[in-house]
Chain A
Amino acid sequence: MGSSRSRMDDIPHAQQLIHETDFSAAHLLRLHQRFKLLDKYQTGELRPRDFGAIPALALNPIGDRIIGAFFSPGQETLDFPSFVRILAHFRPTDPNRSRDGTQQELANSRTRKLKFAFQLYDQDGDGKISRAELLQVLRAMLETQVVEEQLQSIAERAIQEADLDKDDAISFDEFRRSLEKVNIDHKMSIRFLK
């Protein structure tokens, strides 16, 4: 990785981040290295085009949506703490930590994970996945494999299935319910290397 080794001192708000996200110091260091590598012009902030430079991401059918999810609405840049906070969504849930649920909900809780996924669909941010939004995602994911008609049917079916209040859109609550039986913790977590 980068020529300059990161040290904890270089990382802004390191302790606070560790506390907030539960990442270990080693994780944080590693992520910081990655951050600096992505930040080609050493501005201390990432822009969407920096993400666009990752070759594998260009192949990802919903890559640009995911990039978009890293940037809060209206903002063009991403600093390291936000970067880490977003990635913290994907930490596997720590069974020991989740028991003492008194403190503020961690980023890797089930709801937060689902929220992250939900906002990928909900591009206009109205709190609902409309049919058109669902179709867009489906179209991106399935590319050339299916004809529009099939996409329509799938979307139609998906909305019918999830839509409980019959408003022809999937709200977050409906989204969560439709995935009630899925082990989100397994499906929305990655193992961060030490």
Chain B
Amino acid sequence: MKMQFPLLLLLLLFSATADLSGTADLRETGLSIPASAPPLHLCPQSGAPRDLAPPGLASARSAAGEPEEAQNVGHHGGGFRVVQWEWTYVQTPYIIAMWLLVASVAKILFHFSQHFTTVVPESCMLILLGLVLGGVVLVANKKQLYQLDPALFFLFLLPTIVGDAGYFMSARLFFDNLGAILTYAVVGTLWNAFCCGFSLYAAKLLQVIDERVEADLMDFLLFGALISAVDPVAVLAVFEEVHVNDTLFIIVFGESLVNDAVTVVLYKVYISFVEVGVENVETADYFKGVASFFIVSIGGTLVGVVFAVILGFITRFTKKVRIIEPLFVFLLVYLAYLTAELFSLSAILSMTFCGIGANKYVEANISQKSRTTVKYTMKTLASIAETIIFIFLGISAVDKSKWAWDTGLVSCTLVFIFVFRAVGVIGQTWVLNRFRLIPLDKIDQVVMSYGGLRGAVAFALVVLLDGEQVKAKDYFVATTIVVVFFTVMFQGLTIKPLVKWLKVPRSSSRKPTINEEIHERAFDHILTAVEDIAGLQGYHHWRDKWEQFDKNYLSKLLLRKSVYRKSELWEAYQKINIRDAISVIDQGGNVLTSARLSLPSMASRASFPEFTNVTNYLRENGSGVCLDLQVIDNVPGAKVEEDTETHHVLAENLYKPRRRYQSHYSRHFMSLGEKERQDREVFQRNMKSRMETFKSTRYKRHKKERSLKKRQGPDTKEDRDKPRRNVSWQDTDQVFVSVESDEEKDEHSDAEKEEDVGITFVARKTETPKPRPKSVPPAVGDSHSPTAAPPSLTTGGSLLPWKGSVSSPPPCVSVEATKIIPVDLQQAWNQSISSLESVSSPPAHTEPVHPRVSALSRLGVPRPVSYSPPGSVGGCTSSIGSQVVQSSLCFPEKKKEEEMEEEQEKEEEAELQPLLAPPTSPTKPPPPPGSAPSSGKRRKPSVYLRSLVTTPSTGSNESHSRGPTQL
């Protein structure tokens, strides 16, 4: 940290002076400053990379009118300046960006030292930094230019923090403790405000506070009101690092959010009282004040709820515009804040309730990507807003013109707020504990008292005071700053040791297991039933009522139909599964990763000309994959051949094909990243293997369900069809998906089957003389026939992908990889393999997997016959013919079953499907010409598409390639 500090200072100094001089110059001249202005020199010389931005920016803009290059900086033509200094033009955003940068860099530097940040809260450091910065600005300019502007704070900084907090607050936790939160927020804040106000007035009368502080009772009450509210920003900043248990946190934080209504009302009432003068206040005004409290709080809540409903409703229909889903969330939550502000209701309440209310529905409606986006954007904004707030608090403190120090006032205020907070908490807790199921014990009360932090809200409110009306404003400002600094820095610094010392139960970040999810749901039902039986209209009774209402009306209105059917428990199950899968990867470490997961990415990263590298990698790796590769190594031949061979082995045996390039760009959809697809893949495998275990016993049930599903109407259908359609039109590469994604969805039995026979395939292939790429005459004409040619085209492309198109994705994991699957997966795997033993699985028989095709194959008795003429097939050996016969006879039954399951999964995974890579597209055998008449109709679209895709690229390799791949 010591190392970093001077660096940080240097950085800050530069940015501060850069801002400063720019602003100062601006004020003097009011015009654009020529290129020789000091900041420009300063910046590049400082050497920090970020400072390279200004010339670039300036030149970029001037380049619009003038074609000169940026290298001409500093060179002045006669009447025509090559580069202009456009400070006025960029000033505002530039300064803002600078500040954000300073704040962010400051954060980075703080976190360099692990030890340091565990002791000192970030907020403390930021305030200190602000003080330093403020000092720099003051020294450089003799006048403080920056301060926390209340408008900026209330309109931009605060909502980002509150929005984030509200949206991600656990609704269950919040409402479980609603009673306590409301009590502390309303009663507690009122108590603090009045007590502080009156006590300060008493202190003034007793002349503890200096006479210079010209304030009467109203002024003190006003000051008491703004200083007594616990601040959400400060509480969040400090408590986030403390990790107290959830209940304690939600009570303190909930209070800090909800007390906004009280603060707003008190503040406004007192302001109006001060304005008209105390003597003119009528009795009716007090009642108006009380009434306005209810209007402000309930009105704010209602606005929030209304916007929550709107938000939920809108996200129901964003299926086709996924990319702007997050925007809706931000906009509506922010609008909830602004609208409440517009009607001078409690904006914080409004935003909080909008967030809490909408969260459930929005999260269910929007896609996973959008969820992540919302999360990270909100967190980023909130974090930076918080940083800025604390830095500016520090800067604002260094401003002599606003300070008026009175030791009496400051010390009295500090003592009073602390004492009254403690007394208030203890008193209220005593009352609350008579009603609470889980009483708050003494330790909780200590933390709650101590955690009553004041912050930027108080500061912004005090700055907003009118100096004309409130004579003692400067004193109040100084006192507020001291109070804020004291609570945030001193209490923030000491609360951690305190919590440790008191052994306050900490929160655990543990995720619930599926058992806990199930049983806790059961407990809820049990408690509701018991309350009903005992005739108590208690909490659970009402919660159940609400859930019924939510289920019957709200969810129907606000949730997508497809989502509505999903149960939360199922979602939880899926989440747990994904988490498991990921942790399996993490723990499985090298074995799993190298053989099954990083390989695909390796292959996809390495361009195909470097294929030998991959081979080497595999060889060194010592994993199962190498078994196959050794076979290849023994094959003598030209380099091309080896490459071909390698490619084939990989193509046939590796687990899953991947697209190397996400070439497609769309503003409306985002393609999945490689990583994500892998996660999904693992998840799917997990699911599949589990399902596989049921397979043999539940055949009939599948059937029933399937027929059920068919009755489910257009809704599910839409789900199934949509994503696929999207994909196939977006990306030519992905046209395969329309055929293969079905396979993919199928139970892994098929994948296994292929992999299972993959070994045989490899072995045989080495024996079979390979057709050489060059020796094969081009058979382009063939490719245009939609029935027979397209599959071979695909395979043709796959033979030498580095020569042909990139459309055949590099496949991944070999059969042998199954050996290194983690234990539980392995079990399921074995089970399923044994269940498949009855079926003789022909090497290349992926096709029947497709439901439609499988239906055909049931019809297609002539298929083996028509298949048998080997003339149509390049390197086909006669043994294959018989195998095919066997298979096509066996398959239908089996396939039917698989088809059912496929349907199952297809529905569940509808959204995932198109994103998954098709499993073994290159291995697909050509559809037998004989069956073509029957199959032609149904297969045509996809076949046609495929031919469209592959025709240009395959060309000459077509016929020779058929042999190996088909095998």
Instruction: Give A residues with C-beta under 8 Å from B.
Output: 1, 30-31, 33-34, 37-38, 51, 54, 56-57, 59-63, 66-67, 70, 87, 90, 92, 95, 116-117, 120-121, 134, 137-138, 141-142, 144-150, 152-154, 156-158, 160-162, 178-179, 181-182, 185-193
Contact = CB atoms under 8 A, between A and B. Distances in A.
Given A60-B528, A145-B565, 7 more contacts: A54-B533, A66-B529, A145-B566, A150-B908, A157-B573, A178-B515, A193-B536
3 tightest A-B CB contacts, nearest first:
A145-B567, A34-B535, A178-B515
Contact of A178 (B516, B529, B531): B516
A185 B437 CA distance: 10
Given A117-B522, A178-B515, A189-B437, A148 B534 contact: no
Contacts of B701: 148
A62 B529 contact: yes
Interface string B512-539: 0111101111110111111111111011
Contacts of B708: 147
B437 A190 contact: yes
Contacts of A147: 705, 708-709, 904, 907
B590 interface: no
B518 A138 contact: yes
Contacts of A145: 565-567, 570
Given A120-B522, A156-B690, A190-B540, A60 B532 contact: yes
Contacts of A117: 519, 522-523, 526
A148 B570 CA distance: 11
A92 B438 contact: yes
Given A146-B567, A153-B691, A90 B530 contact: yes
12 contacts: A60-B525, A142-B567, A142-B569, A145-B566, A148-B701, A158-B518, A178-B515, A181-B510, A182-B516, A187-B523, A190-B540, A193-B538
Given A60-B528, A60-B529, A141-B522, A87 B690 contact: no
Nearest to A138: B518
A22 B824 CA distance: 48
A157 B519 contact: no
B454 interface: no
Contacts of B904: 147, 149
A187 B438 CA distance: 10
Which of B533, B535, B709: most chain A Cβ within 10 A? B533
A162 B515 contact: yes
Interface of B: 435-439, 508, 510, 513-516, 518-523, 525-536, 538-541, 544, 548, 565-567, 569-570, 573, 576-577, 687, 690-691, 693-694, 698, 701-702, 705, 708-709, 824, 901, 904, 907-908
Contacts of B523: 117, 187-188
B695 to A, nearest CB: 11
Contact of B533 (A57, A138, A144, A154): A57
Contacts of B520: 182, 187
A149 B705 contact: yes
Contacts of B694: 149, 152, 156
A120 B521 CA distance: 13
A26 B822 CA distance: 59
Which of B566, B569, B708, B824: most chain A Cβ within 10 A? B569
Contact of B437 (A38, A92, A156): A92
A59 to B, nearest CB: 7
B435 A87 contact: no
A161 B540 CA distance: 29
A70 B567 CA distance: 29
B527 A90 contact: yes
Nearest to B904: A149
A95 to B, nearest CB: 8
B532 A57 contact: yes
Contacts of B702: 149
B667 to A, nearest CB: 35
A66 B522 CA distance: 10
A185 to B, nearest CB: 8
A34 B532 CA distance: 10
A192 B534 contact: yes
Contact of B525 (A62, A67, A157, A191): A62
A157 B530 contact: no
A57 B529 contact: yes
Contacts of B690: 153, 156-157
Given A120-B522, A178-B513, A87 B534 contact: yes
A190 B531 contact: yes
B909 to A, nearest CB: 12
Contacts of A144: 565
B9 to A, nearest CB: 47
A38 B521 CA distance: 27
A191 B538 contact: yes
B526 A146 contact: no
Given A178-B516, A186-B437, A190-B540, A150 B532 contact: no
Which of B531, B539, B544, B565: most chain A Cβ within 10 A? B531
A147 B698 CA distance: 14
B519 to A, nearest CB: 6
Nearest to A184: B523
A64 to B, nearest CB: 10
B212 to A, nearest CB: 53
A154 B573 CA distance: 6
B435 A157 contact: no
A148 B705 contact: yes
Contacts of A70: 533
Contacts of A150: 567, 570, 573, 908
Contacts of A60: 525, 528-529, 532, 544
Given A149-B904, A154-B518, A56 B570 contact: no
A149 B900 CA distance: 11
Nearest to A33: B535
Nearest to B530: A90
Nearest to A182: B516
Contacts of B539: 190-191
B573 to A, nearest CB: 5
Contacts of B541: 56
B318 to A, nearest CB: 23
B515 A63 contact: no
B532 A56 contact: yes
Given A162-B515, A179-B519, A146 B532 contact: no
Contacts of B519: 117, 178-179, 182
Contacts of A141: 518, 521-522, 525, 569
Given A57-B529, A188-B526, A192-B534, A161 B515 contact: yes
A183 to B, nearest CB: 9
A73 B526 CA distance: 19
A154 B569 CA distance: 8
A38 B533 CA distance: 9
B437 A157 contact: no
Contact of A137 (B522, B532, B534): B522
B122 to A, nearest CB: 30
Contacts of A90: 527, 530
B530 A153 contact: no
B170 to A, nearest CB: 14
Which of A141, A149, A185, A187: most chain B Cβ within 10 A? A149
Nearest to A188: B523
Nearest to B545: A56
A147 B712 CA distance: 12
A115 to B, nearest CB: 12
Contacts of B691: 149, 152-153
Contacts of B530: 66, 87, 90, 190
A61 B934 CA distance: 50
A58 B311 CA distance: 34
Contact of B515 (A30, A137, A146, A179): A179
